[in-house]
Chains A and B, each alone.
Chain A
Amino acid sequence: MGSATLIEKAENYLEYKAHKGIFAWLLSTDHKRIGLLYLIAMISFLWVGITLGFIMKLEMLTPDKTIVDAQTYNALFTLHGVIMIFLFIIPGIPAIFGNFFLPIQIGARDVAFPRLNLFSWYLYITGGLFAIASLFLQGGPIDTGWTFYVPYSIRTTTNVILPLLGAFILGFSSILTGLNFITTVHRLRAPGMTFFRLPLFVWALYATAWIQVVATPVVGITILLVVIERVLHIGIFDPALGGDPLLFQHLFWIYSHPAVYIMILPAMGVVSEIIPTFARRTIFGYKVIAFSSLAIALIGYFVWAHHMFTSGMSDTARMVFSLLTFLVAVPSGVKVFNWVATLYKGSIELRAPLIYVMMFIFLFSIGGLTGLVLGSLATDIHVTDTYFVVAHFHYVMFGGTAIILFAALHYWFPKMFGKMYNEKLAIAATPFIFVGFNLLYFTMFILGYLGMPRRYWSYLPEYQTLHIISTVGSWVLILGLIIMFANLIYALFKGKPAEANPWGGVTLEWTIPSPPPHENFDKIPNVTNGPYDFSHINETKDGKS
């Protein structure tokens, strides 16, 4: 009799404890718990990054010294970049939501290599600590910019080696996660879950995982060579010994441009999940969206040198890379049109996740279109290394990926924690974020166009008005973010219990209880239809109302 109840009431993953106390988290190989471990770590790093950015903007209030000196400013923009890129944006969505939902969405009980998955998290934390440690050690924090360009990075006396090793370890973590996801998608799909029945989030993660596996090792070796250069002076990147710094840039961007797609593809996957759910209709052009992810992954590999148009390359090379850059914009455009087409004549329910998604479409489009300005040779020479570039990649990275990370947080929050957040407050945060964001970064487009160089600590007085507007924007934005996170944290403790399917979603994660049981599924589901088939849901809904 006792056993009967044992079988029926499966413990949810938050209650199930294989180990005691804190070790229930630190030693858990459950993909859901690992996802939450990443979530906690990343939100912490995000706030460190936000604080650094906030101080930078304060410094920019006046043309000369406001609160920090020039050398501190160099360290600020470097660490802001390193933390936001390597510790937040690159691993962000795959590590948190990929870990949590990839196995559930394909009808599996876990990823292919659960222990390796936990190991990846430890690598991530180690890498993060390495990067942060440079702040407190002798020599002072790294001041090279997040790109670590040689020869400066082999000459500066600041702490370069630790953050570099940190980035190397993070790369390792990223590779192992990618490898894990690819194997999971190939081996653990539930019966009936064919490739063309995979949710588009899984497709995006799959394409991302390939980039992680294929691109990351190249930056790994490049970073190691800079470390070796600093320790042993072998000369590979040292022009004094015959080395060529330009080769560093090539190798660096061979990874770091595809890394841009590691950042944005999973976000696009989340958008493809949220839009059908709140438009109550199937996604427009499923296969095209799936293939455009792969196309981005592929073409994204061949555009790296557009970061180097002014570094010294032949005209032929520059024109080829410019052309390829235009090509890679096509699949992204395809996706945007498909999303908008899905909304068209949908039965739209304007909930918080969808509002974040719409904010994304607006901001990401600005980011993408200004990317074309930078991809054209003639205009690039005018605006390269100015605030225009800074504005562009913040529109893409923050307006694109981070906003979608917030959307995903709201969309899957009820599923992950079994609690509902306050919808009105969640929506109330969005105008602050949207207005603050545009004040902060759109002014940077103008500043850049007027000639304000990036990474400068002081500037000419005529730029001050725009800088002040931008700084005020940063305050509004941070206020919005505080409202958003406070609302979620409050819901974590005091939120009302969530239903299994609060949004009426149709992918597999909505068929199991909130929060999910330890084993995800009592019985592995048998999949018989595509991921966004709303015909049944709509029937029952009509029946009810």
Chain B
Amino acid sequence: MESLDATNITIEQEVKKEAKHISDPHQHKDAIGAKIGMWLFLFTELLLFGGLFLLYMAYRLQYTKDFIIAGQELNLILGTVNTIILLTSSLTMALSIAAIQRGKKSLSIFYLISTIGFALAFLVIKYFEWTAKFHHGIYPNAPELLSKPNGEIIFYAMYYSMTGLHALHVVIGAIILLFMLVFLIRNKITKGDYIKLENSGLYWHLVDLIWIFLFPLFYLIH
């Protein structure tokens, strides 16, 4: 009897432990809460770029002519291709979430891989765009750039800092999506619990959205 009691107690303790593990008060699942947090974070990201947009506005008013001249030297074709790539990647991202919502795991994986592929394509094009500019001596503190009027120097300062910060976000976004891919494959993201993928998608759309503003501000001014 006594040994039975003892085992009973240990079982009880096990159960308690298990229950505690699941309902640990300091770790809980709350999809809506996670989404609120994500939206707030996106808001801060917008404001991070907001500071740069403010500077752009002030300098464009100050140096309108120089901005137009410098803007025409950017490669419109590459910029347009990149815009299309990012827009498409947002689509595949949304499709990936839609797929997992309906429980179609492999389809979701396929769309997610496409999204990551588009992200890489964007970065490769960006790389060629920047290096081409570097070859022409247009990079910060380069003697050739410094020989240009101040307005153009500022244009390229804004161009490099804004597209650079954006490219950094693309890299971060791609890394996050890679993690999501692993989670999808390992069934950590499922039909019932896909908030991680949804939040990553929100982040990815933000990256896309910012580019939608950067593209006309730099490539399309005249």
User: Which A residues are closer than 8 A to B by beta carbons?
Assistant: 1-3, 6, 29-31, 109-110, 112-116, 175, 178-180, 182-183, 186-188, 213-218, 220-222, 225, 228, 232-236, 241-244, 247, 250-251, 254, 518-520
Contact = CB atoms under 8 A, between A and B. Distances in A.
A225 to B, nearest CB: 7
A89 B22 CA distance: 38
Interface in B47-77: 47-52, 54-55, 58-59, 62-63
A243 B140 CA distance: 13
B44 A243 contact: no
A213 B26 contact: no
A234 B27 contact: no
B55 to A, nearest CB: 6
Interface in B5-40: 9, 12-13, 16, 25-28, 30, 32-33, 36-37, 40
B150 A242 contact: yes
The binding surface of chain B is classed by DSSP as: helix
A220 B48 CA distance: 7
B48 A228 contact: no
A112 B33 contact: yes
A222 B51 contact: yes
Contact of B154 (A31, A116, A242, A254): A242
A234 B47 contact: no
B62 A218 contact: no
Interface string B151-181: 1011011101100010000000000000000
A183 B37 contact: yes
Contact of B40 (A2, A179, A241): A179
A448 B25 CA distance: 54
Contacts of A29: 26-27
Contacts of A116: 37
Interface residues of B, number: 44
A242 B204 CA distance: 34
Nearest to B160: A234
B132 interface: no
Given A221-B49, A221-B165, 20 more contacts: A2-B9, A6-B16, A30-B26, A109-B25, A112-B30, A112-B33, A112-B36, A178-B40, A183-B33, A213-B43, A218-B47, A233-B141, A234-B156, A234-B157, A235-B140, A236-B157, A241-B154, A242-B149, A242-B150, A243-B154
A214 B58 CA distance: 21
B146 interface: yes
Given A182-B40, A234-B160, A243-B157, A217 B55 contact: no
A242 B63 contact: yes
Closest 7 CB pairs of A and B: A242-B150, A109-B25, A217-B47, A221-B51, A234-B157, A233-B141, A217-B48
A310 B12 CA distance: 73
A251 B63 CA distance: 19
A106 B165 CA distance: 39
Nearest to B62: A244
A234 B44 contact: no
B140 A183 contact: no
A237 to B, nearest CB: 9
B127 interface: no
A251 B51 contact: yes
Contacts of B49: 221
